[in-house]
Amino acid sequence: MTDSVSLQLDINGQMRTLKVEPRVTLLDALRDHLDLTGTKKGCDQGQCGACTVHVDGERMLACLTLAAQVEGRAVTTIEGLSAPGADLHPVQAAFLENDAFQCGYCTPGQIMSAVACIREGHAGSDAEIREYMAGNLCRCGAYPHIVAAVRQAAAHHATEAAR
């Protein structure tokens, strides 16, 4: 058996220490060791997007990333998008308003991708949104509502930026 390593991870702005085997993925570290179960495990093979988180502000698939690889980098999960007790993040609010989920299993990953989509300027049209979000699968087929939510949140973002 491989020896455990001690890791210091910056998760949602908090330093967290954990002792895990070096092969433990970021996804398993979040869910099984840090009790952050908002990030979902779908395929566990990089094909569904359910495990999408941000690392240094860029989206990343937590099932394809080792926990040890993100030491010293800033990891944001769905739990960290808005401060506890604060208003929902505008993208979360837009998902609610547009009925952009059914079972909700894919939703955390969709929202993390949507935040990156808007931030990186890929929400200029429905086609562009669909292309950027193509790696996030929804078995319920909520895609039209997801696109509508991203469009609304992008418009909100543009209004805020213009102030």
46 binds ligand FES (CB under 6 A): yes
151 binds ligand FES (CB under 6 A): no
Please give the backbone phi and psi of residue 5, each rounded to the nearest 5 degrees, phi first.
-120, 155
**Under a CB-based contact definition with an 8 Å cutoff, are residues 11 and 60 in contact?**
no
Provide the pairing of β-strand 52-55 with 58-61: antiparallel
Among residues 118, 142, 147, 150, which is the contact residue for ligand FES, using CB under 6 A?
142
The residue among 12 and 52 lying less far from ligand FES, judged by its C-beta, is 52
The residue among 51 and 91 lying less far from ligand FES, judged by its C-beta, is 51
Among residues 22, 43, 88, 125, which is the contact residue for ligand FES, using CB under 6 A?
43
**Under a CB-based contact definition with an 8 Å cutoff, are residues 123 and 129 in contact?**
yes
Q: How far apart are CA 110 and CA 18, in angstroms?
A: 27
As given in the structure block, the two tokens for residue 16 are 């967290």
Where helices occur in the chain by DSSP H, the ranges are 26-28, 90-97, 107-119, 126-132, 143-162
* Partners of 53 in beta bridges: 60
Pattern 70-109, binding to ligand FES, x per CB under 6 A? -------------------------------xxxxxxx--
Q: How far apart are CA 12 and CA 119, in angstroms?
A: 18
Q: How far is the CB of 112 from ligand FES (least distance, A)?
A: 11
24 binds ligand FES (CB under 6 A): no
Among residues 61, 66, 111, 116, which is the contact residue for ligand FES, using CB under 6 A?
61
The residue among 49 and 90 lying less far from ligand FES, judged by its C-beta, is 49
Contacts with ligand FES, residue ranges (CB under 6 A) = 41-44, 46-51, 61, 63, 101-107, 138-140, 142
